Amino acid sequence: MKYNLLEAQRKFLEIPHDYTLDVAVYQGGYGSGKTFAGSLLGILLAIKYPKIKGLVGAQTYTLVRDTTLQTYFEHLESMGFTEGKDYKWSSTEQKLTFYNGSEIMFRHFDEPNRLKSLNVGFVEIEEMSDTPYETFKMLLARLRQKPYHSWKNFQYRIFGHTNPEIQQGWIYKTFFVNPSPNYRIICAPTTQNIYLPKGFCEELKQLYDEKYYNTFVLGQTGNYSENLVVKDFTNENIREISYRDDLDLHISCDFNVDPMSWVIAHKTDDKVFYIDEIVLENTTTSKTCEEFYRKYPNHKGKIIVNGDASGDNRSCTSEYTNYVIIKKKLLSYGYDVDIKIKAFNPPIKNRIAAFNAKVKNANGEIGLYVSPKCEKLLYNIRNLKYIPGSSKIDIPTYRQIKQSKELKFLSHPFDAASYLVDFYWPIVL
């Protein structure tokens, strides 16, 4: 069967560079031919390079089985391949084996450590935006199958397909913000797929609101600023900030075992400068103090500790409050320590208003700067949102965090940073 590919699909299949690794994402709306193109590419690689090993997966195996694998079988049938002659499918191993010795394994990525023993020549990722960045990096490291001499001009390939992200996730940062020259993103609106039933896109236009239609039909990059908790934050708020060991150094704390989030800052009478952050998983207050000492062992100025007022309450796991633990630990390192916290936390809306006022006030004056070193804080500023139509912050659920580990760090670093602003420049609503 002869395929008449869409322009976007052809760009996705063909490599326009000679790097040894090609990383490509097909981003498109519903029915834009994403899975079709990915599955076709997997089969073409298996045919072109005898004995190549490929890995195809998604965050859940249900998606692999019901979508990707079925598209592979449809391609094989369209190409006139016969099971038992041209290829073999093993349901036990979840693997396609071709007549030339090539193999394609189908897996889920929910337990990425189980994939670390694999060495493959290509990887395909279904719904790439649902796959955590840590998993993507691990899959990159699996591209180390030794090429055979017969593989002329071979290039390792990791490719995926996805709907547009609705927040500034890792795909946005990796493929839109200063991408490497061998990283490609191909955007394909549903409206360009000439093979869809007549009236398909018009029906979707009537069904969806304009913003949803633009994102999930036209394939446009999402409106990342919509419903953001932090308003008016721009690149003007980001700058390299020099640490001064003779100035007061503020630690503002959000106490949470997983993750513990502290921000480190200098401040003046009217400005705050976030110079660093300490965000640790599965830790304790004492261990976080040790990390602070490791980073700032020779600080000569005063250490001023701010943060969550609830940290001044005792817990069932310690006879001391978090702030007592911090003060005792930092004093033992020889620091001059002072604790400055509120008697109780204000309403969250007050804290958010205070933070936004420092980002940029009504006169257009900036009073808050963040160092590029504060990656988790910047991630929060760019992605922490309200639930649409409400004033409630959209906190990720346990299930969402399990699917995307990066979401674990959403809200806590912002809380730590905003406690400091609210203490010195409070706004009463």
In this structure, are 246 and 141 located in the same domain? no
- Mean pLDDT within 329-342: 96
Summarize pLDDT for 282-314 with one digit per residue, the tens.
999 999 999 999 999 999 999 999 999 987 655
Q: Give the pLDDT band of residue 223 (cuts 50, 70, 90).
A: low
In this structure, are 246 and 286 located in the same domain? yes
In this structure, are 161 and 273 located in the same domain? no
Q: Give the pLDDT band of residue 318 (cuts 50, 70, 90).
A: low
In this structure, are 30 and 176 located in the same domain? yes
What is the structure's pLDDT at 317? 46
pLDDT at 194 over 90: no
- Residue 104 maps to a domain: yes
Scored b (16 or more CB within 10 A) or e, 74-96 reads ebbeeeebeeeeebebeeeebbb
In this structure, are 207 and 242 located in the same domain? no
In this structure, are 160 and 30 located in the same domain? yes
CATH value at residue 182? 3.40.50.300
What is the residue-averaged pLDDT of the chain? 88
Q: Give the pLDDT band of residue 82 (cuts 50, 70, 90).
A: very high
Domain boundary among 166, 187, 216: 216
139, 108 contact by CB (below 8 A): no
Domain of 89 in residue numbering reads as: 7-216
- Residue 223 maps to a domain: no
Distance from the Cα of residue 393 to its chain's centroid: 19
What is the structure's pLDDT at 329? 96
What is the structure's pLDDT at 207? 64
Domain count, the chain: 2
Q: Of the given ranges (55-64, 193-202, 208-217, 361-370), which has the lowest mean pLDDT? A: 208-217
- Residue 108 maps to a domain: yes
What is the structure's pLDDT at 315? 47
Q: Which of 96, 77, 100, 76 is nearest to 88 (CA)?
A: 96
pLDDT at 396 over 90: no
pLDDT at 217 over 90: no
- Mean pLDDT within 417-424: 96
Q: Of the given ranges (59-73, 147-161, 346-360, 395-409), which has the lowest mean pLDDT? A: 395-409
Q: Give the pLDDT band of residue 167 (cuts 50, 70, 90).
A: low
Q: Of the given ranges (71-80, 250-259, 280-289, 396-405), which has the lowest mean pLDDT? A: 396-405
- Mean pLDDT within 322-337: 96
In this structure, are 405 and 260 located in the same domain? yes
304, 338 contact by CB (below 8 A): yes
pLDDT at 149 over 50: yes
In this structure, are 90 and 158 located in the same domain? yes
pLDDT at 355 over 80: yes
In this structure, are 369 and 322 located in the same domain? yes
- Residue 129 maps to a domain: yes
What is the structure's pLDDT at 307? 94
What is the structure's pLDDT at 95? 95
- Residue 2 maps to a domain: no
CATH value at residue 384? 3.30.420.280
In this structure, are 85 and 160 located in the same domain? yes
- Mean pLDDT within 147-161: 95
120, 45 contact by CB (below 8 A): no
Share of the chain above pLDDT 90, in %: 59
Domain boundary among 216, 245, 272: 216
More confident residue, 18 or 215: 18
- Mean pLDDT within 123-128: 93
Scored b (16 or more CB within 10 A) or e, 377-401 reads bbbbbbbbbeeeeeeebbebeeeeb
Summarize pLDDT for 263-287 with one digit per residue, the tens.
999 999 999 999 999 999 999 999 9
In this structure, are 395 and 325 located in the same domain? yes
In this structure, are 389 and 242 located in the same domain? yes
- Residue 75 maps to a domain: yes
Summarize pLDDT for 48-65 with one digit per residue, the tens.
999 999 999 998 888 888
What is the structure's pLDDT at 316? 41
